[in-house]
Amino acid sequence: MTYRLPSLNSLRAFEAAARHLSFKTAASELGVTPGAVSQQVKKLEASLGVALFRRLPHGLLLTGAGETYLPRISRVFEDLTDATEEIAPDINGRKFTLGLCPKAAALLPEGWPAQRDALHPHVRQTIETSDVERIRRDEIDCLIRTGGGPYGDLALVELPNPTDRSGRSKLHFICKNGLADCRQSKAILADLGAVILPGS
C-alpha cells in the first residue's frame, strides 16, 4: 500500500517547528533538545529532497514547500489524534487534577474553577497545594501558583496577576513538559485568560 514515507518523528519535529517557526520552542513542546529537532528536520528535508525551512539568523521561515506541507501535516496529526481518541478515549481525554495554591486561589473568582462549565470536561478535581513536586509525582497534572521557580524541566505559562496590572507579580501555570499544549491545559488557560482579561 504505502511505499515510502518520511518517519513520523521527523514529521512531528517539522510540524512543531513550522507552527512555532522556532526549533527551540518546538523542542520545548516535544520535550527534547533543539539539536534533536534540528537533526530530525534536516533528516526529513534530506529524505524528501526538498528544503522546508529558510534559516534566518533570528528564527525561521517556511519555504514554499514547507508552507504547503504544514497545514496538511497538521491535519494528519489532528485526524490521527481524533481517530486514536475515538478508540482509546483515555489516551488524551483524561480529566486533569489541578493543584491550586491558596494565594493564587485568593486572586481568582470565588469558587473557580468548579463553577466554570467550560472546564467540566477537562478538570476532575482541584487540590489545594503549592508543591511543584506533586506534578513530577503525577499526583496532579498542573499547578497554579503565584511565584517561585525556576521549575527545571517543567513547562511554565505566565499569566498576569488580575489584581496587579503593573505586571510585576504573576500567576504561574506549571505542568509537565509536553502537557502545556494539550486540550486540558488549553481549556484551563483559556478560561483563566477570560477570567483575568475579560473581553480581551
Is residue 99 within 8 A of residue 135, CB to CB? The reply is yes
Residues forming the site for a second copy (CB under 8 A): 1-9, 11-12, 15-16, 19, 29, 47-50, 65, 68-69, 72-84, 86-88, 90-92, 178-179, 181-183
Query: Given the rule CB under 7 A, which of 30-38, 91-99, 140-148, 188-196 is the region that contacts DNA?
Result: 30-38
175 binding DNA? (CB under 7 A) = no
Q: Which three cell numbers stand for residue 106?
A: 485568593
Which of a second copy, DNA, none does residue 195 bind (CB under 5 to 8 Å by kind)? none
- Integer Cα distance of 198 and 189 in angstroms: 13
CB of 20 to a second copy, least distance (A): 10
In this structure, what DSSP letter does residue 94 have?
P
SS (H, E, C) 126-172: EEECCCCHHHHCCCCCEEEECCCCCCCCCEEEEEECCCCCCCCCEEE
Q: Apex CA 11: angle with CA 76 and CA 35, to 5°?
A: 150
Which of DNA, a second copy, none does residue 23 bind (CB under 5 to 8 Å by kind)? DNA
Comparing CB distances to DNA, the nearer of 13 and 119 is 13
Site for DNA in 50-79 (CB under 7 A): 53, 55, 57-60
